[in-house]
């Protein structure tokens, strides 16, 4: 409640406050200790309160920006948990299943090659067969198709890729080796 008295200038007001008596006494004591009047301290607090809640105040804008960022972060995390996480898991499962369906013989070769590698570690000798690759295996290494590897071999350009026909076969399948290996 604001009252206007005749002896006050028109730009000032007298206010009545209902406060806890002990709180008011502590406030008066603190003002005296600081060497300030109650009017100065209350005016300062009111100005500070108004500035903090002013939408044009940079601090208020930073607080608002932080609230918006927190809200958006929460929304993104919610949508990720609800939608994208399951889609990513499904995509990974699909890729794994697709890999094992198209490459059923690869795990067998990797077991054979790993045993050859273990043998090489224990004996100090690494068999040349461990480096031999079929067109399909070499295609995966070089990022091309198996028929392209065969074509490169036929036209003599496979050496430019660092591989050559080893002269060995696995059944009818040509085995290729890196060029830097001894023949």
Domain boundary among 35, 52, 69: 52
**Could you list the residue range(s) of the whole structural domain that residue 6 is in?**
2-52
CATH of the domain at 41: 1.10.1220.10
pLDDT band at 116 (very low <50, low <70, confident <90, very high): very low
Q: Is the Cα torsion angle 46, 49, 54, 59 positive or negative in sign?
A: positive
Round to whole Å and give the CA distance between 183 and 166.
8
Residue pLDDT, tens place only, 75-105? 788 777 777 777 777 888 887 777 666 555 4
Q: Is 178 helix (H, G, I), strand (E, B) or coil?
A: strand
Count of domains for the chain: 2
Instruction: Report yes or no on 119 lying in a domain.
Output: yes
């Amino acid at each position: 409640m604001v009252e206007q008295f005749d002896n006050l200038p028109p730009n000032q007001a007298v206010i009545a406050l209902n406060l806890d008596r002990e709180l008011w006494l502590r406030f008066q004591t603190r003002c005296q200790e600081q060497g300030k009047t109650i009017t100065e301290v209350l005016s300062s607090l009111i100005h500070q309160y108004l500035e903090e809640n002013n939408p044009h105040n940079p601090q208020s804008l930073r607080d608002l920006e932080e609230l918006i960022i927190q809200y958006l972060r929460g929304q993104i995390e919610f949508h990720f948990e609800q939608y994208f996480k399951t889609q990513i898991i499904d995509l990974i499962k699909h890729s794994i299943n697709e890999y094992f369906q198209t490459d059923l013989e690869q795990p067998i070769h990797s077991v054979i090659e790993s045993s050859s590698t273990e043998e090489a570690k224990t004996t100090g000798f690494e068999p040349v067969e461990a480096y031999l690759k079929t067109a399909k295996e070499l295609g995966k290494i070089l990022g091309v198709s198996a028929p392209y590897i065969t074509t490169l071999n036929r036209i003599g350009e496979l050496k430019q890729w660092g591989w050559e026909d080893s002269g060995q076969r696995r059944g009818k399948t040509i085995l290729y080796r890196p060029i830097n290996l001894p023949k």
